[in-house]
Chain A
Amino acid sequence: MSSEANKAHKERLKKNSILVLTILLVLLIISILFSLSYGKSITHVMKSLFVDSGIDPVVRKVRLPRTLMAFFVGGSLGICGVVLQSILRNPLAEPYTLGLSGGATFGVALSATIGLERYLSLYANPLMGFMGAMASVMIIYLLTRKKFFHPNSMILFGIVVSLVFSSFVFFLFSILDPDKMQITLMWLMGDLSSLDIKLIPAYIPMFLIPAIIMLFFGRELDILSLGSEKAQYLGVNPPRMYRILFLLSSIVTGLCVSASGIIGFVGLIVPHILRNIIGAGHSSLLFASYLGGAFFLIASDVISRYILYPVELPVGVVTAMLGGFTLLIVIVRRT
């Protein structure tokens, strides 16, 4: 009886996941079309994209780059959220739990303080944001290596590293020119249009390759979620797996920060909700979170662009508001 019930439950989850993946794919396509064609006809957008770019350069030079960035950053944050929630065995973990945002903020604030944009122009913020994030990753890696990447020590060190970087950031902000501080803060609040268009072709493979690799770690994540001891019996080396997944997700998160600033809640709320609907099986959860994260960020970007038109809100503010309320509803319903 119990095994039959289990089987029926698994069947239901499988059907659910196929349905959810289909719905997410449809929503994603609709959101992409909406983001590209808001206020214009779809045929006009298609013509300016594929026939003659001269018809409407705004579509090709403004809307397409930010929709692409929203897709890759949102999807990457979604997938990193699943991986980190799984390896840290904490449903409230997200890509920035391990102090990456603190490191990235420090990198960007340092760049503004020393005036790096004079030498590196528009590449200063993305480069320093990525380097800052990687610096915090390296510190946590070195600190937790001896503890065999134990989830609790990783979270603890992540929080401490984040706090230390925050104190440096406050120091830099206290000596920084108010104008530069304002521009830096706006960048950090999340902006999908801040990346130079020329850099996007270089970013796409950097986003895609680690994300594709992570998509194939579903089985290993399923085993790791049983605990380190059981995982070892089932042929998975937990410290090695933690190390690989931690580094992959950190690199992808660092790239996201460097491309668009700090966009919170995408990596927290999307895996959290999808896990409730399609279950904890990581193979489908990883795919669903990629699609869900991309859809959530594209939709948030459209809202940020048009809700107070012509004033544009930082997309990080919209994701935080939408994500915060949704998370609150989920937690209240569950308790």
Chain B
Amino acid sequence: MQECKEIFLRKKILLKIFYSLLSPCCLLFTLYCSLLLFFPSLSSGYDRIISLSPQITESIYLLGAEDKLIGVTTLCKRPEEATLKAKIGTPLRPDIEKIVSMKPDLILGTREGNPPIVMSKLKTFDLYTYYFSRPKNLDDLLTNFITIAQFVDKEEEGRRIVETVRYALHRMKRESPLRVLWQVGANPLIVASKMSFANDIIKLAGGINVIETDVPYPRVSIEEVVAKKPQVIVLMDMGYPVEQEMTKWKSCIDNIQFVIMDAYVVGSPTPLTFLEAVKRLVDKLNSTNMP
């Protein structure tokens, strides 16, 4: 009798332990399901994605998830294969009709590059849209990249690329810091300040940005630039004649050196284009012998 009681008690204790373990598991499972329901970004499995920004398109290709991309803008030209994807218009004027007819399950855009009315109109069709903010520095760029990787179910690959870029940046050898001017526009003369995204490239390359205003891309005069005594000028392939600019600066500043960058480095950067840009600037700064 005593033995029976003991067995019964033991069973009871085991059951209690079992239930006490089961209930938190149930609770966690319910919580996870509701999170998936209310925050679809946590769930992967998007396989009909439309990109409204060249930067997002390039990142998706970089992650090797281009098969999930069904539509891009007419400005998405990198990599070259992206031009073969169906076009949905320009980032400023995407064709809502075409987007809706393509039945995407995710639309990715940027807050600064796509007008708010586009986002609002797409929402009326119950389409899931996600808008990134333009990166202000390397950390923003890498965070956006990881989010894109999560959307295309390539988080591991994304983190690997991010780690590789961070490691490569860490390993770069910088010599004595030089004074750098990053020219964005020629007429009017627009340059990148310490508040700009380009400043991170200068900083990580071991240079010193000579423009210190609070406006990210201020207009300045030639006189002001000459007074700042830059030693290297970064020129961008952004529609202005680079050769002409080089001649102009050479006539104003002695021993000035130049680095020519592609427009996408600042316009639509990815972790790899960022790394390339820093590497190019580091090489130039290291090879420049200044008194």
Contact = CB atoms under 8 A, between A and B. Distances in A.
**Interface residue tally on B, bucketed by range:** 20 to 34
A182 B89 CA distance: 16
A302 B14 CA distance: 75
Nearest to A57: B125
Interface stretch (A130-138, A148-156, A304-312): A304-312
B88 A310 contact: yes
Interface stretch (A97-105, A192-200, A293-301): A192-200
Interface in A59-84: 61-63
A310 B87 contact: yes
Nearest to A182: B92
Most chain A CB neighbours (cut-off 10 Å) among B93, B100, B216, B219: B93
B217 A194 contact: no
A309 B96 CA distance: 12
A62 B217 contact: no
Given A122-B120, A310-B87, A186 B93 contact: yes
A174 B219 contact: yes
Contacts of A179: 112-113, 134
Contacts of B112: 177, 179-180
A121 B116 contact: yes
A69 to B, nearest CB: 13
B95 A310 contact: yes
Interface in B47-105: 74, 87-90, 92-93, 95-98, 100-101
30 contacts: A57-B125, A58-B100, A58-B101, A61-B121, A61-B124, A62-B100, A62-B121, A117-B116, A122-B117, A122-B120, A174-B188, A175-B215, A179-B134, A180-B112, A186-B93, A186-B115, A193-B117, A196-B117, A196-B120, A197-B121, A309-B95, A310-B74, A310-B95, A310-B98, A311-B74, A311-B87, A311-B89, A311-B93, A312-B89, A312-B95
Interface of A: 57-58, 61-63, 117, 121-122, 174-175, 177-180, 182-183, 186-187, 191, 193-194, 196-197, 309-312, 314
